Amino acid sequence: MTLAAIDELAIRRAKTGDLSALERVYRAYESTVYSIARRICRTEEDAEDVLQETFLEVCNSVRRFRGTRPGSLTAWIKRIAASKALMRIRADKYRDTDEFDEEGGAAARAAADVGLQLDLEGALSRLSDTSRAVVWLHDVEGYTHEEIAELMGKTVSFSKSQLSRAHARLRRMLGEEGQC
């Protein structure tokens, strides 16, 4: 079953609160939502909680969903998932060590990153929660810096600097250092 078919056929029944239709929506979007959550959150448990919180909100708010364009249901559900995942990493901010980096700490970490030659998954997991979320939302999910700033409750400059910082670290960790 394609996502478009869910948009067209099940959404009207889901809006009436029909649990079997809501389950169809869940089955169609479970993997998409979990993937976003898993890429943004640090642990599997957090990502599972985000999955559950996202679909609870979908079930409770779907009667207010007014999207009609193709893909609008997907965009709506993804945005809820991103919002929940960001709330989760905000709650776990004490683990987000990059937030508190001093200049010296960043330099020391830059030196430690060189020669790691990690694969992409490994490198992503070493980014701070915030940087990883910005990279994922901007470069993979296609959110603009303005949208990310709104979701995070931060400024556009914050989103841009996090992205730049994340790419600089990824480049080092992947062993891609060039002359630039």
Partner 1 sequence: MLRHCTMSELLEIRDGGGPAAARAHVDECAACQDELDRLHQRVAMLKALPHVGAPRDRWPAIRDAVEAGRRQRWYQRLAFGGLAAAAALVMGLGLRAVVPQANPVGDTMVDPADVETLMGESRQLEELLATVPRGRVLDGLTASAIADLEDRISLVDVGIDEARTVRATPEQVASLWRQRVALMDALVQVHVREVGYAGF
List of residues contacting partner 1 (CB under 8 A) = 17, 19, 22-23, 26-27, 30-32, 34-35, 38-39, 44, 47-48, 51-52, 55-56, 59-61, 64-67, 72, 76, 79-80, 83, 120-121, 124, 135-136, 139-140, 160-161, 163-165, 167-168, 170-171, 174, 176, 178-180
- For partner 1, give the closer residue by CB, 81 or 96: 81
- Give me the least distance between CB of 126 and partner 1, in Å please: 14
- Give me the least distance between CB of 57 and partner 1, in Å please: 8
**Buried/exposed 151-165: b ≥16 CB within 10 Å, e otherwise:** bbebeeebbeebbeb
- Give me the least distance between CB of 171 and partner 1, in Å please: 7
- Give me the least distance between CB of 170 and partner 1, in Å please: 6
